[in-house]
Amino acid sequence: MEKIEDFSEVLRYLQDGEAVCIVNRSKITYFFYSHNKIVVVSENFNTSITPKQFQQLYEKENFYLYKNNEEEIDLSKDDEYYSWKGKGVN
């Protein structure tokens, strides 16, 4: 995960449709922008807050740009694997 150095960058990433996250005590909280609100998602908690509330609550946190690993999967390698598996080769 790429660390975001400045809170204004966090807001820019969110407004550009990116997701960001923070890590506290090995728990990850995710944030994304939807319908003029910041959506907060963690293991046991989900809510929406205004950008002003977001800044008041989280401005001092260390944020990271969240990249979904599913986007990095090479589908051609999946196809190759399953073609071999179908031929009885493990």
Residue 65 belongs to domain spanning: 2-86
Number of domains in the chain: 1
List, run by run, the mean pLDDT of 10-residue segments along the chain (90 residues). Answer: 94 96 93 95 93 96 85 52 56
Residue 85 vs residues 42, 75, 76, 77, 80: alpha-carbon distances, Å? 38, 15, 14, 12, 9
Query: What is the structure's pLDDT at 11?
Result: 96
| pLDDT score at 16 | 95
Answering whether pTM is above 0.85, one says no
pLDDT of 68: 75
In the prediction, which pLDDT does 90 show?
53
Pairwise CA distance, residues 89 & 85, whole Å: 5
**pLDDT confidence of residue 81:** 54
Q: What tokens were used for 39?
A: 């959506």
User: Closest by alpha carbon to 62, among 17, 7, 12, 8?
Assistant: 7
